[in-house]
Amino acid sequence: MNENNRQLIQYLIELRSRLLKCLFILFVIFAILVCFSNELYTFLALPLLKNLPEGRGLIATNIVSSFFVPFELAFVTAIFASIPFFLYHLWAFIAPALYQRERRLMQPLLFISTLLFYLGAAFAYFIIFPILFAFFAHAAPAGVMLSPDISQYLDFTLKLFLIFGTLFEVPVIICLLVWANIVSREKFIKIRPYAIVSAFVMGMLLAPPDVLSQTLFAIPLWLLFEIGIMLSGFLERKQKECHDSRGKRG
């Protein structure tokens, strides 16, 4: 067996070990959360339940939904809670193959991207959900009683969590584009007015049709764009310092 094959086998063994550790943590968290699956679903449904008429609630149109939907939520929440552990093992696996400057960039970006995703989900739950469900509850035609199915509600909220978690990754995406020299920071600064208009257009399309809701949606998107520009400036300075230090050594 030559040296390349031996190294490949070692990498595969390490990858298998890290995957097993990740799956074990996922299973442990899921085993804990499944004991509180009904409470988890009630917590998820609170923004809607608070806006339904007294005595009204969600319904289960499928006979097994009342069991499997909270079970599914517990599993998704376990994955959500395990993300930092997964990213740690991903980082530990790929870091030795990166250059030092790449490690200095990727390590904080992994942390920031994880934090921003959680912040996006929290923003959706605490800000967007109450506004959105209050609008839906009061927009129903006369004689129509709003009683969503628990499975449809879970699918809808998970999509919103994913959408807002992804939207909050804008600063990281900007930094990566600047770092890879795909788009310059100056270009992002030039398109700032278009980014602001786009944020308010998205607010107009996705938020309820009132100025307050649309503004609450648009302003965080605009601020995320500004944070991305600010972080990319710090990144450019670091890149320039590294380049200057190499030039002096040369």
* Digit-coded pLDDT (tens) for 18-55: 999 999 999 999 999 999 999 999 999 999 999 887 77
C-alpha–C-alpha distance, residues 221 and 130, integer Å:
18
Q: What is the pLDDT of residues 84-108, one digit of tens each?
A: 999 998 888 888 877 777 787 788 8
Q: Tell me which residue of 38, 125, 128, 32 sits closest to 81, measured CA to CA.
A: 32
Contacts of 114 (CB under 8 A, 6+ apart): 83, 84, 87
* pLDDT mean over 142-151: 83
pLDDT, tens only, 200-227: 998 888 777 778 888 888 999 999 999 9
CA–CA gap between residue 91 and residue 173 (Å, rounded):
18
Burial (CB count <10 Å: 0-12, 13-18, 19+), residue 33: buried
pLDDT at 44: 96
In whole angstroms, what is the distance from residue 193 CA to residue 99 CA? 36
Q: What is the rounded CA–CA span in Å between residue 96 and residue 184? A: 29
Q: Half-sphere exposure of 93 toward its Cβ, with a 13 Å CA cutoff?
A: 18
Q: What is the pLDDT of residues 226-235, one digit of tens each?
A: 999 998 888 7
What per-residue confidence (pLDDT) applies to 245?
57
